[in-house]
Structure 1
C-alpha cells in the first residue's frame, strides 16, 4: 500500500510540475490533479496536498469544490467539510448529487443526524430528494445514527431503490441489535429480484453474536453458497468469524479449509481470532506458527494483538508471552501503539514483579504513547503492589499533560491507600473533583477505599454520598469500609437500603456483608446469608463466599463447621479457602487440623511462602522444634523465603519506605543515630520517677 501511494504521488508531482510550467488556466486538468493528489497520499496527509492544489487553480469551478469536499470527507475532517459546504453555498454554487453524497457521507461518519436533516432539506430545495444516490446516503445517515424510524421513512418514500439503499437499511437494523428485522428485509430484498452483495452479507454476519443465532447463521451460509459466484472472499472471511461467535468452531474451520486456494491475511486472522475467542491457547499458538511457516503470510498487527490477548486473558505462561514478543520485534511491530499496548497489558498481568521492567521497556519503545499506554503502566504498578512507583508514574503523567481519566485516578487512589498516605490521597481527591470524576463508579469506590483504610470513615461516607449510587459498586465499597471497622449494623442498614432502592445486588455485595458479620462475630447472621444467598437473592455462591464463610466460623473457633463448609463446596477449594482455615488453626492452636490443611496447600500452591511461615510459627509456638526445622529445610530446598514486611511514612508529600534492618534509605546514618539516641533515652526512663522523666526529656530535646 505504501509503495502504491509513493507511485501515485510521483505521478501526481510530475503532472503538477507540467501544469505549472504550461500555465494552463482551464480548471479541468487542475481538477484531475486535485483528485490525483487526494488518491496519492494516505487520508491524513492527502488533505494538505489537495488544499494546496486547490489554492493554485486559477478559476476553480463546482467540480473543484466538490473534489476538495470529497478529500475532506475521505480524510475524516468532517467539521471542516461542513464549513466548506457552507462556503460553496455562499458562493452560489448549486448542490449536485455529488455534493450531497459527499456531505451526507460526512454526516454518517460523524454520526450527526441533525446535519443529515439539514441536508435533507437542501436536497428538497435542490430538487434532488427523489434521486436514488443522495436518498440512499441520507438513509445511511439515519441508520448509522440509530434513527431507524427516520431511515425506514426515507426508504419507503424512495421512488427508486438500488442495492446500496437496501444494504444501508439492513446494516442499520443489524448494527443496532435488530437482527430479525434485518433478516426480514434481506428476504424482502430477494423477493424484489435484487441480488445481495458482499456488503449485504457482511452487515448480517457481523451482527451474529451468541449460540442463539446459530440456526440463522446456517441459513445465511446456505444463501452464501447460493450466491457464491457473485460473492467474494470478504463474505467467507466474515462467515468464519460469525460461526465462531455462535459457538460453531468446527464450521469456522470447515470454511477456512474450503478456501485453501484463495486465503488471504484476513482469512488467517479470522481463524486465529476464532481460536483465541474460545480460549484455545495451544491451538492458536500452533495456528500462528503454521501461518508464518507454511502459508507465507506474514502476521500483522491484528494477528499479534489476538495472540497477546490470549496470554493476557487465559493465563499463558511467561515463556510463551516472551516468544510472541520476540516475533513482534523480529517483524518490526514493537513500536506500533496497539501492539505495544497489548504487550504492556500482558506483562502487567503476569504475577512476577520483574515483568514490570519488561512492560516499561515496551512503554519506552512506543513511538506514540496514548492514554491506554500510560494507564496500563500505572495500573500495572498499582496491581503489583509497587505503589510508590505508581504514584511517581502518576506524577509523570500529570507533568506530561496526559489526560487523566477515571482509570488513572482509580489506580493512583488505590496506591495512596496501600501506602496510607492520606495527605497525597486528599490532593488526588481535589484533582478528581476538578476533573468531574467524583461520581464515577471506579473513582468513588477508590475514594471510599482510601478514606476507609485511613480510618476516616466520615470522608469515605462523603465520597459515597457524592457517588452515582445507581450501581452496586459504591455501595459495596462503603460496606467493606464499615466491615473493616467492625460496624456490622451499619453494613446491614446499607444492605437493607440497597434492597429498598432496588440497587442490583452482585456477588461482591455479599462478600462485604459476610465479612462484616465475620469481623463482628455474628456467626448466626453470616450463616443465614450463606444459606439464603442463592434461594432468596438469586446470587450463586462463589469461591470468595466460601472463603468468607470459613473465616466466619474460624474466627469464632468453630473449626469443625469451617471444615464441613469446605467439604460441602460444589467445586475444588482454592488456596485462598485453605489459607483462611490455616490462619484460623493458628489462632486456636489446632495443630492436627493445621497439618491436614497444609497438605492441601502444598498441592494447590506449593510455592506460596505464607503456608510454610504459618506452619513454622505454629510448630515453634508449641515447642515442636524438629518439625519446625523440617518445614524450614523444605522451604529452603524449594528456594522459598519469607517476603519481608515494609513500612511507609509520608513526610512533606514524599513517601519513605523501610523494612527490617534496612540500610537502603539515603539518610540511613541519621535515622540509626536517632534510633540509638531514642534507645538510650528509653533505657534511662525505664528506671526513673515521673519528675525525673520530665527533666531527662527536656535536657535531651
Structure 2
C-alpha cells in the first residue's frame, strides 16, 4: 500500500490486537511512529486493549509514556483504556491515578476502575467508588463485575442490597446482571433466590444463565435439581457446552448416579468432547467416586486423554487414595514424579493420606521433605495430611510440630487433624482441650470437628462427650450427620451402655444408615447382646445384602457364643448369595518399597524364598521350644536329685 494513513495503520493494529498478536501490533505501532504517521486516540486505545488482554504491564508502561508524550492522557477513550490496562494487570493504584487524569470520566472509565478493584477483591473500595459514581452512569457493566465480588455468605445482605439497586434502576432483565446474580446467590448458598432470578428471565435466558444455575445446584449438592435442570436443557434444545458437562458431571458421585453418569459419558462422546481436558477430568473424577468397579474406567479415560493437565493426574491420584488403593496411589505418585510432573497441594494431600493408610513413616518423611522443598509444608491441607500421617505412624510429636507451624492461620482443617490425631492415640483429654482452644480462638468449627471430638471421647471412654452431640445444633449451629451418631453410638458401646446406644438410634431425626447400624452391631457383639445383634444384622442384610461385613460379624458372634448351627446358616446364606469375605491385608515397608500381603498370599515375586524363610524360622522356633523344655526337665531332675 503506497500511501498509508492513520486509519490504515489503526485498522492493522486493531486486527492484530483482536487476534491476540500483541507483539505484531506493537511492532506495527512503532513502524507507524517511525514512518511519521500520527498516532491518535484510537491507535492508543486499541493497543492498550491488547496490552490489557495480555496483561503485559511492562509494555503498558511504555505505551503510557507515549500517551503522555502525545498529550492523550486526558482523552476519555485513551484514559479509560489506560485504567482498564492497569486494572487487568492488578495495578489498581496506577489505575486510580490514570482515572483521575481523565477530564470527563464516563461509565466505561468508572466500570474499568471498579472492575480492577473487584479483581483484587477490595470490597470496601469497590463500594466507595460505586457510591461516588453517578447513578445515571450505572449500567450492566457496573453491576456484573460488582456482583461477582459478592460470592461469600458473609456478604449475602450486601448482595441483596445491590439486587435492590438493580430493581430500582429497572435493570432486572439485563442478562449479564442476572447471570452474575444467579452465580452470586448460589455461591452464598441462597439457591432459592438464585432460582427466582433465573425464573424471572423467562425466555430470555442464554447458555450462561443455564450454566450458572446448573453450577449453583452442583456446588450446593442439589443433585436432583441439577439433573432436572439439565434434562430441561436437553428437552428445550438448549445448546450445551463444556461448562454444562463439567457442572453436571460433578454431581454424579454415588452408585445411584452411575447409570446417569454413564449416559452423560455417552453424550460427551456424541458431542465430540471426550478429548476436552476439563470434561475428561470431570469424567475421571466421576468414575473415581463411584463406590464399586469404576476405577478401571477412570484409568482408561486418563490413558486415552491426549492433553493431560495437573487436574487429570490429581483426579486419578485422589481417586486411588480415597478408594483405599493406597499402594497404587503411592506408585502412581512416583510415576508422575518420574515424568517430572508438577506437584501441588492436592497431590501432596492425596499421597500423604495414602502414606497414612499404609503407615509408611519413611516414605511419608520423604514426601514431607519434598513438600518443604516445594514450599507446600505450610499449606493447610498439606499440613493437615502431614499431621494425620505422623499420627497414624505413631509419631505424635512430629504431628504436633506440623500443627504448630500452621495453627496461627486459623485453619479448621489443621485443628481437626490434630484433634483426630490425639484421638487415635487415646488422648481424649488433649483432644477436648484443643476443641476448647478452637472455641476460645474463634476458629471456625465444622462437622469434621465434631466427628473428631466424638471419636476422641469414644476412644478414651469419655461418656460426657455425648453432651457435644446434643449441643451441636442448638449451640454450634451444625446439624448432626450420620458419622456423628455413629461415633456417639460407638462411645456408648465402649462404655457398655447398649440400651442408651439403642435409644440414641431410635431418637435420631432421620433413619440410621448402614454406618450407624454396623457400629451398633459391633457394640451388640462386644457386649454379648446376641438377640439384639441378630435384629440389627437382619436389618443390615436387607439394606446391603452383598456387603460381607454383616455376615462376618454375625459369624464371629455365633462362634464366640458357640452357636455352631447359626454360624453354619450364615455361611450357607453367604454362599447362596455369592458373598465372599474380603481378606484383610497387611503390609511392610522395606527400603522405599511397600509390600502388601494377606493370608496364604503367593502373589509376591519372591514368595518361594519368603515361604522358605518362614519355614526356617518356624523350625528354629520349634527347636528353641524343644531346647527350653529339655532345659526345664534337666533343671527339675537336678532339683529332685538334690
| Paired residues of 1:348 and 1:380 also in contact (CA < 8 A) | yes
Give how far 1:271 is off. Answer: 5.7
- Within the candidate set 345, 348, 365, 2:288 is matched to 348
Matches within 5 A, 1:607-622: 607-622=546-561
Equivalent runs, 1:545-694 vs 2, <5 Å: 545-689=484-628
Aligned partners of 2:616 and 2:36: how far apart in 1? 85
Give the 3 Å change call, closer, same or farther, for CA 252–629 of structure 1 in structure 2: farther
**Matching residue of 2:135:** 189
Rounded Cα–Cα distance in structure 2 between residues aligned with 1:613 and 1:255: 56
- 1:391 is aligned to 330
Q: 2:111 corresponds to which residue?
A: 167
Contact preservation (8 Å) 1:413, 1:450: yes
In the TM superposition, 1:331-346 aligns within 5 A as 331-346=271-286
2:118–2:146 contact (8 Å) kept in structure 1: yes
State the match for 2:141 in structure 1. 199
- Return closer, same or farther for 1:469/1:159 CA change in 2, 3 Å cut-off: closer
Equivalence for 2:81: 137
RMSD between aligned alpha carbons?
A: 4.2
Task: Indicate how the Cα distance of structure 1 residues 476 and 288 shifts in structure 2: closer, same or farther if over 3 A, else same.
Answer: closer
Q: Does 1:305 align with 2:246?
A: yes
Normalising by structure 1, what TM-score?
Answer: 0.76
Which shows bigger deviation, 484-493 or 201-210? 201-210
| Deviation (angstroms), 1:219 | 6.1
Is the deviation greater in 664-673 or in 633-642? 633-642
Alignment of 1:475-486 (within 5 A): 475-486=415-426
Cα distance per residue 1:288-334 (max 9 Å; x no partner): 45655763x5432122112212214x775111111111111122111
Look up the match of 2:639.
none
Equivalent residue, structure 1, for 2:310:
371
1:451/1:288 Cα in 2 relative to 1: closer, same or farther (>3 Å)?
Answer: closer
**Unaligned stretches of 5+ in structure 1?**
1-18, 67-92, 694-701
Query: Is the 8 Å Cα contact of residues 243 and 251 (structure 1) preserved in structure 2?
Result: no
Residues 534 and 541, structure 1, Cα contact 8 Å, conserved in 2: yes
Return the offset for 1:340: 0.8
- Alpha-carbon separation, structure 2, partners of 1:678 and 1:203: 73
1:60 and 2:31 equivalent?
yes
1:461–1:478 Cα contact (<8 Å) kept: yes
Aligned residues: 621
- Distance between the aligned counterparts of 2:455 and 2:36, measured in 1? 69
Deviation of 1:433 after TM superposition, in Å, equals 1.7
Counterpart-to-counterpart distance in 2, 1:278 and 1:442 = 22
Deviations 1:605-642 (A, max 9, x none): 44432122112211222122333333334434444221
- Between the aligned partners of 2:64 and 2:7, the Cα distance in structure 1 is 32
The within-5 A match list for 1:508-547 is 508-524=448-464, 526-531=465-470, 541-547=480-486
Q: Is the 1:333–1:339 Cα contact (8 Å) retained in structure 2?
A: yes
Whether the 8 Å CA contact 1:142–1:150 is kept in 2: the answer is yes
Distance 1:459 1:215, change over 3 A: closer
Structure 1 residue corresponding to 2:379, chosen from 417, 426, 440: 440
CA contact (8 A) 1:182 1:204 kept: no
Q: Deviations over 1:197-229 (max 9, x none)?
A: 653454456556577546754763675579x7x
Structure 1 residue 341, shift from structure 2 partner: 0.9
1:536/1:320 Cα in 2 relative to 1: closer, same or farther (>3 Å)?
closer
Give CA-to-partner distance per residue, 1:118-168, whole Å, 9 cap, x none: 977775554333211132234435655778788677656643233312433
Distance 1:103 1:410, change over 3 A: same
Matched residues in 2 for 1:568 and 1:237: separation? 44
After TM superposition, give the deviation of residue 280 of structure 1 in Å. 5.5
The more displaced of 673-682 and 683-692 is 683-692
SS state at 1:380 partner: helix
Change beyond 3 A, Cα 1:620–1:379: same
Q: Is the 8 A contact 2:22 2:50 kept in 1?
A: no
1:117-516 maps to which residues of 2 (within 5 A)?
Answer: 123=67, 126-141=70-85, 158-169=102-113, 171=115, 176=121, 177=123, 188-190=134-136, 199-200=141-142, 202-203=144-145, 206=148, 212=157, 213=159, 217=163, 220=166, 223=169, 247-248=192-193, 251=196, 254-255=199-200, 257-259=202-204, 265-266=207-208, 269-270=211-212, 272-273=214-215, 276=218, 281=223, 284-285=226-227, 288=230, 291-292=233-234, 295=237, 298-312=239-253, 317-352=257-292, 354-470=293-409, 471-498=411-438, 501-516=441-456
Matched residues in 2 for 1:483 and 1:65: separation? 78
Partner-residue secondary structure (3-state), 1:649:
strand
Which secondary structure state, in structure 1, belongs to the residue aligned with residue 588 of structure 2?
strand
SS of residue in 1 equivalent to 2:627: coil
For residues 310 and 116 of structure 2, what CA distance do their matches in structure 1 show? Answer: 31
Structure 1's 255 and 540: CA in aligned 2 closer, same or farther, altered over 3 A?
closer
- In structure 1, how many angstroms separate the alpha carbons of the residues matched to 2:401 and 2:514? 36
In 2, the alpha carbon distance for the partners of 1:37 and 1:128 equals 22
Q: Deviations over 1:501-545 (max 9, x none)?
A: 554444433433333332232334x34544555666666544333
Q: Secondary structure at the match of 1:648?
A: strand
Paired position in structure 1 for 2:640: none
Q: Distance in 2 between matches of 1:310 and 1:505?
A: 26
Flag structure 2 segments of 5+ consecutive residues without an equivalent: 633-642
State whether residues 182 and 195 of structure 2, in contact with CA within 8 Å, keep that contact through their aligned partners in structure 1.
no
Tell me if structure 1 keeps the 8 A contact 2:486–2:519.
Answer: yes
Aligned to 2:587, the other structure's residue is in SS state: strand
* Preserved CA contact (<8 Å) 1:252 1:271: no
